[in-house]
Each structure stands twice: as structure tokens, then as C-alpha cells.
Amino acid sequence: MGHQQPVVDTSPKVSDEVRKTTCYMCACRCGINVHMKDGQVAYIEGNKDHPVNKGVLCAKGSAGIMQHNAPSRLKAPLKRVGPRGSGEYEEISWDEALDLAVSWLKPIREENPEKLAFFTGRDQSQSFTSFWAQNYGTPNYAAHGGFCSVNMAAAGIYTMGGAFWEFGQPDWDHTKLFMLFGVAEDHDSNPIKAGIGKIKARNARVVSVNPIRTGYNAVASDWVGITPGTDGLFIMALIHELMKAGRIDLNYLARFTNAPCLVNSDPTSPEHGLLLRDDNDKTLVIDRNTGTLTPFDKPGVRPDLAATYDQNGITHRPVFHLMAERYLDPCYAPDAVAERTGVPADRIRAIAAELARVAFDEEIALDREWTDFRGEKHAKMIGRPVSFHAMRGISAHSNGFQTCRALHVLQILLGTVEAPGGFRFKPPYPKPVEAHPKPHCGVTPGAPLDGPHLGFVRGPDDLALKPDGSPARIDKAFTWDNPMSAHGLMHMVISNAHAGDPYKIDTLFMYMANMSWNSSMNTSGVMEMLTDTDENGDYVIPKIIYSDAYSSEMVAYADLILPDTTYLERHDCISLLDRPICEADAAADAIRWPVVEPDRNVRGFQSVLVDLANRMQLPGFTNEDGSAKYQDYADYITNHERKPGIGPLAGWRTDPEGSGVGGTSSEGRGSPNPDQIQNYIDNGGFWSTHIPEDAQYYKPWNTAYQDWAVKLGLFDSPQPYLFQLYVEPMRRFQLAAEGHGTRQPPEHLRQQIIDKLDPLPIWYEDGPSNTQYPIRALTQRPMAMYHSWGSQNAWLRQLHGHNPLYVPTKLMRENNLTDGDWAKVTSPHGQITVPVMEMAALNENTVWTWNAIGKRKGAWALKDTAPEATRGFLLNHLIHELLPPKGDGLRWSNSDPITGQAAWFDLRVRMEKVQAPSESQPAIPPETSPVGTASGDLEWKTGK
């Protein structure tokens, strides 16, 4: 037939209304436009005005409609009626649920608040949940940072006042060379993708360092398929090359870092290794103009990187001397590290040369005058257009803290941090350790804790120890085992509570953490610990309260379930007091609000916490007359003041007396505004204010930035500081281990502290190598999934419905494997039997799989035939929270000895081909879910 075409309606009505809120399909926290039809969610797209995503949206965000409507959503509060783990529950009313919770929580608060362990997983309201826990009075609170990326965060804070992601970002508009180390692709996902897209559009070089060439690594100009756990050694070889060639930014190091600060170099001194300070506690340098000892911040000082200083017979050497001594050592030469890192020496030399070429020969300069904290004016902002980004890949090893430190030191040696084209902080960062709290653990029955739980230790005095020296916290954070555990150790809570070590608890209260599955090492062991009974037949962990929106694997193990809402049904604030969403050029925060009301008997967890606080009349939630301060979380968001004028949200505060930016403006500082949430809604769900141009770079030292930050309320006074190439607090722990001071480590930890808490970055092997387990095994996060959540999503699970073990060509051949075969994979702790698939773009001695795709039958409302539950699997079964016995009578933790970060990626295995089993092994028996299983087909259309 001849050509004919019908009339198509090219302008159909799109929606009745667009409601703008914040995504929660991962931790990226993009702005979204939720299109509504007939009161239902019809379509979700990115918000073009939003500072995080600027309109784009990933697969997870676009699939939000399937999460919001997932059959796995919990429907009502539940009380366990069968044995723990059976999944047998009865629905109860909210009043009954809250009364029950209070009947457990109130008595232990009066008696001993440490009997409550409250850990909040992938919580995006940590500023609030920690406030609740602090007012309850338990020392046992943290979120999931300890099993995620605390090494990256803590190394960044201690070294330079911030790390990557929410702390800062590459200067995408100016960088000419971008170097990326192991990244969880659901972390900061859209900004990284957009940034890579931007720099690739102008054909700038992207170098990726990762054993696996997927995702961002797949588009990198150059791929370094490094041996897992050796990134620190590789980075130190780069540092060696750059220092040896003098291709480092001496001017930057002298002015902005503690490289010129003087270190006591007398091994017999009780202050050996500490920095020389004056009576005002200021670190001292030699002024190259005068040759005299001078405080680092004195106007006109020209800090000398070379001169030493003798005082009372003790030689003090600048930090830079110690660095030269360490990193010029031939043990860091490319030839010396090539074999262990798996990176040829010529390649290392080429990368070092390219870093130097771009940083120094392609220097850029912005015509922006600025004044530094010493009062010196600079006509231009000099830029070194090399930038770096890294996350979990280098973080989740037992040498991760020092490796992350090494990466920060590399950036600083090149003078790129906070320089145009380099790495830039986002408000409220940069923020030195001194501006952070120390950890607190002072418990008083019936009263709040003596301060914030989590913080940054400056030395042994800040450890969370009881008077008898035993750990004050159930997770043993801030103890000699792992002194700098800034995010706590959520992964140790269940095993410690089960062991009654350091003490027994009464109630375990958790939120959004799938601890009986993918969020724990030793998954099967954890399931046993949660159900174990004592000689009286009582549960060893007596009571468990759990809050989640969905029927995760963890639900079956709770005694009381407090069902949460979906992210489209709740209030939230993405606060500057919490993990912020700012940009390098702007401060920003945001809200969630109920764009739809729940159709089930569920409540936002934060509002439930407010209710519990009110029922227990917790201080901080209670007025002097005993009445409640806040009715719910929205009320808290609006009216809570952390200190006068500073609340959870910085935008649209009211008080003209506040000194917020703009003088009489209401940004940052100001009194609560009853219409604040509506103001946010009217503005698209977020607030943002730009940093003045002359304050946008060199922030730690830039007077204009410091003054702006004070006005906005980020600080109460300017906080200029030096980058800490040498981290003195670490040296304080070493000194104690060497026998100095009154607070002393236990004998068995002395050597570990001396060896590992080196104040200059070192590299040591991540966990014991073992010839019986010669293969490294890793997981990665797919960009289209967020931990275990994606599998309940009908659209996302079609992208990653099962997870083969990817095996490099060499190992496939050695084991006579072809795609679709099955292999038994064995670690010192356990074994799994899983399907394999060949991958060539992979380190030849590394196997890997996607994280958290494997599911337990019965969970997430999936049918037992779901590929996630039949062919999917977890590597977690191979990883234990403790290392295998070494024969010294002790069990050492499988974590970083500095921060306690879970060392997921230290895993070593061996593999062999086996007959295909009927499904992946171990096959954990199905669990019963309170929501049952979903079935049938979907034909999704809201409007008809």
C-alpha cells in the first residue's frame, strides 16, 4: 500500500501537577520532579534546577515509581508471635507498638542507657537520629559508615579537612587530567557521571585505577588494572617519582601545609614526633626571611621547608624532611613496587610524568584577587588542573586509612587541592579536625549522654574507654583496637552483643540495615547470633526493634517492626548539619515532603522517634513544663535549633537580626520560620546560595571564604588551618604504645599501634596473604542498584537479576571453565558454589561479582523462582568479622586497625570447577515474609 500515516497527538497532557522533592533511590540525593495524575505518581524525572543532578537522573531514580509501589512494602506495625526468624507476626496498632517499645526502652534508660544499641544503617537523618540517641543517653549509636567508607572520610578529615563526595568534588570545568580510584558506582553517582561526561567532551584524559574495567573505568582513557589492596603502594611510587624529580609545589607546601612545621626528632624524648608549639599552642616554623622560630600563621612569615631547629639539645626537623626521607627510599621506586601492584614500572613512571606535566606545565590562572589568612594578597588564583576521586575501592581494606591518606598527600604535593582545576571542597567543608567534636561516652542513668557520640580523637585521652579501661561502646569504637573509628563499627554490633563483649545489652534497635544478609560479614553466623538462646531459653540478644519500609531479610529477626514510609510519603531534610549536598560554588540543602500520603498503616521513622521521645519525655524533645517540643519530624525540621539561629535547614530562616549571608538575609543564621517547609516546596524542594567569586577557591586559607562561612553559620569564627601531611594525633597513639603517658594500650596491641598508626602514610599488606588462597575476590555496586533495594523493583531487577562470578581469562583457562559453568569458591572462612562468567578486562588474579544481588527466598516479596534467590549469591558468606586464628590465642578483627573500617576487600579465595548444583550454595532456607510474595504481570499505566 502507498505511504499513509495516522494523526498522532504530539501534545498529550503530561500530568495534572509536578511535585518536586528529593530522590532516595540511593545516597546521591538528586532533585526530582514527580508528575502526578489523579493523585498518583505517574512519572519521575530529574529536576533541572537542582544543584546535585541538574535535571539528569539515573536508572534507580527513574525507577522510583516501582519502589514506591513495590509489593514488598510493609503495611502495619508488627509484633513477633512465632520464634525469632520464623517470620510469624501479628499486626498491631501504632499505639500498641509504641507502648511496647517504650516499655522496653524506658526502664533501661533509667537503669543503664548503654543497654540500648541504636544503629541506623543507610540513614539520611543522622544529625537527628544521633540527637535522639544522645538525649536517650546511650553511648551505642552510629550509622553505617564503619562498614562503608570511614577510611576515606576520616583520612580526608585528618589530612585536609574533608574527603570526596559530600566533602568535595573535582573542578570539572577546569581539570585537564582526572584520576579515579575504586569507586562504588552508586556513590555520588550522577555528579560523577556528569563530570566525566563534561571532561570527556573536551577530550581530557581520565586515568582509572581499578582491578575491574567496568562503568567509569570502561570509559577511562587509561586503565590501571591494579592488584587489590596495593593502591597505597602504587600512590607512594608516584610520590617517590614526583619528589625525586622535584616536581612538587614547594610554594603551596610551605604556605598551606604542615610540611614546614617542626617535629621533635629526639627518640629519647617523651615528645618525640610531636610538633613544636608556642605558648598559644600554635605550631612553629622557621621563617626563611629571618631564620627565626615563628608561629605558622604570623603575617609575613615565609615558612621554611628545609631548616631545622635545635632547642634544649633536641633537633626539630620540618615534616618535609621526614617525607623526603621516607618517600625517596628506593623501596618506593616503581621497579620495587611493580610486581606487587601489578603495574609495570614504565607505566608508573609515565603516569607520574603526566601528573607533573599537567599540574605544572599546564598551570592555569584565574584572574581573581584573594587574600590569605596571613593577610597576604594574591593577584590570581593559580590552578594545577589535576584532580582525583576515590571511594570504597581503596577504603574497604585493612590498609585503607593509610592508602586514603597517601592519595590525599599526593594531591597536596601537587598543589591541586582547592586550586582551580583540582579538587574543591563543598560547604560546610573544608573543616579541620579541630572544628569537629571529640567522641563522647559519658553515661548517666536517666539523663542524656555527655556529648555527641561520634567525633575525631586527638590522642589517647579521647578514647571511649571506661575507667577500668574496657570499651565504653558495644562496637568497641574509639578503643586501642581501632582508635580513630570516627563512624563507629556497625558491623561488629551483633557479634559483640551476642558475645556479651564488652558487655551484654538488652535492646538492639536498628533502622534500614540488612544485617542478617548483605550488610554483615559472616551472614549465616549473624542469623544464628540473632536467634541464639541462653541456658534459660531466652534470646542472647533479648529484644530487637527494627524499622524498614520493605520486607528485607532482616525483618524476620525483629521482635517489633516499625514500618517506615517510602521516600515519596515522608518529610526529611538533607541538612548542612548532616551529610550535605552542596556544590563547590554553593551551599545547598533540601527536603523531602509527602508528595503522596501513605495508603498503608505506616509512619515515617523519624516521626516515630519523635513520638517515642515524647512518650519518654526525653530532654531535648521536652519543654520545661513537660510538654512536647515537636509533634513530628516536620515540626522538628522547622523548629529545632542546634544552637541559637542554626537549625536543620539553612534556607528561609526568618530573623532579620540573624547575621546570615547578606546581612539582613535569612540564609544560614536566623530564627525558625513556621512556613519554611512550604518555602522549600515553592522553590522546588531545595535551597541554595552561591559562594562569592573571590571565595570559591583556596577556601581553607581564603579570608573571603572564611568570613562568608561565618556569616552563613558554618563556623562561629574563621577556621583557617594547615593541611596535615603529618597527622600528629596518630603519633600520640604511637607514643602511648611506646610507653609514654598514663593511658596505656593493652600489651597485645602495642606493636600494632606502633606499626600501623604512622603519622606519615605507609603501606602494609591488607590482611595475611596465604598461598592456599591465591586469588583476590571483590564486589562492586552496579550503578543501577542501591545495596539490596533494587531487587524488589520490577524494572531494575531486569537489569541485574542475578550475578555471575566474573573470572579473568587466565583463571578460566587454568580451571577449565567456560561461561555457565559453576565453581566452588573457598576462603579461610567458608565456601560458596556459584555460576561463573569470563571477563577479559579484569586483573588477571581477581574475581568479582555485583554486590547484594543475591537474595534469600521469601524476602522482598519475590517468588522463590526469582533468579536473585536461585542463581544470585553473596560473597559475604566467605568473609568473617574476625580473621582466622593466628595461634596467638587472640582473634583479630577483620578491619582496619586505625579506624575499624570493615575490610571487605581483603578477601582471598581459591576456586575449582564443580558439577552444577540446582542453585547457588549455600542455599539458605526460605523465610516467611509478613507481606507474602507477589505474582503476576505488570502493565503499568496510571492515567487511562
Partner 1 sequence: MTTLPTGTDRKLGLVIDLDTCVGCHACVISCKGWNTENYGAPLSDQDAYGDPSGTFLNRVHSYEVEPAEGAAQLIHFPKSCLHCDDAPCVTVCPTGASYKRTEDGIVLVNESDCMGCGLCAWACPYGARELDLAAGIMKKCTLCVDRIYNENLPEEDREPACVRTCPAGARHFGDFSDPESDVSRLVAERGGFDLMPEQGTKPVNKYLPPRPKDKLETEAPAALPAVATETTGFLSWLDKTLDRLPGGGAN
Q: How many residues does the chain have?
A: 944
Among 499, 890, 916, 938, binds partner 1 (CB under 8 A): 938
Among 75, 79, 244, 466, binds partner 1 (CB under 8 A): 244
Draw the binding track, 745-784, toward partner 1 (x: CB under 8 A; -: no contact).
--------------------------------------xx
Residue 27 binds partner 1 (CB under 8 A): no
C-alpha distances in angstroms, 167 versus 163, 203, 454, 576? 5, 26, 17, 11
- Measured from the CB atom, the residue of 321 and 476 that comes closer to partner 1 is 321
Among 263, 390, 489, 839, binds partner 1 (CB under 8 A): 839
C-alpha distances in angstroms, 312 versus 266, 271, 315? 11, 13, 8
Please, which of residues 857-876 interact with partner 1 by CB under 8 A? 861-863, 865-867
Helix (H, G, I), strand (E, B) or coil at 78: strand
Residue 81 binds partner 1 (CB under 8 A): no
Is the separation of the CB atoms in 384 and 363 below 8 Å? yes
Is the separation of the CB atoms in 903 and 895 below 8 Å? yes
Among 410, 796, 807, 883, binds partner 1 (CB under 8 A): 796
Q: Among 378-386, 538-546, 562-570, 614-622, which window interacts with partner 1 (CB under 8 A)?
A: 378-386
Grid cell in block for residue 165: 563526595
Residue 181 binds partner 1 (CB under 8 A): no
Residue 63 binds partner 1 (CB under 8 A): yes
Q: Among 165-173, 199-207, 398-406, 740-748, which window interacts with partner 1 (CB under 8 A)?
A: 199-207
- Measured from the CB atom, the residue of 687 and 795 that comes closer to partner 1 is 795
Residue 536 binds partner 1 (CB under 8 A): no
Helix (H, G, I), strand (E, B) or coil at 737: helix
Among 79, 106, 198, 277, binds partner 1 (CB under 8 A): 198
Q: Among 125-133, 539-547, 584-592, 936-944, which window interacts with partner 1 (CB under 8 A)?
A: 936-944
Q: Which alpha helices (DSSP H) does 827-926 contain, by range?
A: 867-870
Q: Among 126-134, 227-235, 505-513, 793-801, which window interacts with partner 1 (CB under 8 A)?
A: 793-801
What is the C-alpha separation between 880 and 895, in angstroms, rounded? 10
- Measured from the CB atom, the residue of 292 and 470 that comes closer to partner 1 is 292
Q: How far is the CB of 510 from partner 1 (least distance, A)?
A: 26
Among 664, 772, 840, 891, binds partner 1 (CB under 8 A): 840
Is the separation of the CB atoms in 561 and 74 below 8 Å? yes
Among 178, 509, 550, 795, binds partner 1 (CB under 8 A): 795
Residue 377 binds partner 1 (CB under 8 A): yes
Is the separation of the CB atoms in 490 and 148 below 8 Å? no
Give the CA-trace dihedral at 746, 748, 751, 754, to 10 degrees. -30
Q: How far is the CB of 216 from partner 1 (least distance, A)?
A: 6
Helix (H, G, I), strand (E, B) or coil at 576: coil
Among 171, 185, 583, 585, binds partner 1 (CB under 8 A): 185
Q: Among 40-48, 269-277, 541-549, 816-824, which window interacts with partner 1 (CB under 8 A)?
A: 40-48
Q: How far is the CB of 915 from partner 1 (least distance, A)?
A: 23
Is the separation of the CB atoms in 563 and 74 below 8 Å? yes
Q: How far is the CB of 550 from partner 1 (least distance, A)?
A: 13
Residue 302 binds partner 1 (CB under 8 A): yes
Residue 328 binds partner 1 (CB under 8 A): yes
Q: What is the DSSP string of 121-156?
A: TT-S-HHHHHHHHHHHT-S-EE-GGGGTTHHHHHHH
Direct distance between the N- and C-terminal alpha carbons of the chain, in angstroms, rounded to an integer: 32
DSSP 422: S
Among 350, 447, 914, 923, binds partner 1 (CB under 8 A): 350
Among 76, 100, 293, 306, binds partner 1 (CB under 8 A): 306
Q: Among 249-257, 729-737, 762-770, 849-857, which window interacts with partner 1 (CB under 8 A)?
A: 249-257
Grid cell in block for residue 96: 500498641
Grid cell in block for residue 524: 549465616
Please, which of residues 458-517 interact with partner 1 by CB under 8 A? none
DSSP 112: -
Nearest alpha-carbon partner for 729 in 472, 488, 487, 483: 483
For residue 596, what are the contacts with CB-CB under 8 A and spacing of at least 6?
Answer: 36, 39, 40, 41, 68, 568, 569
Residue 801 binds partner 1 (CB under 8 A): yes
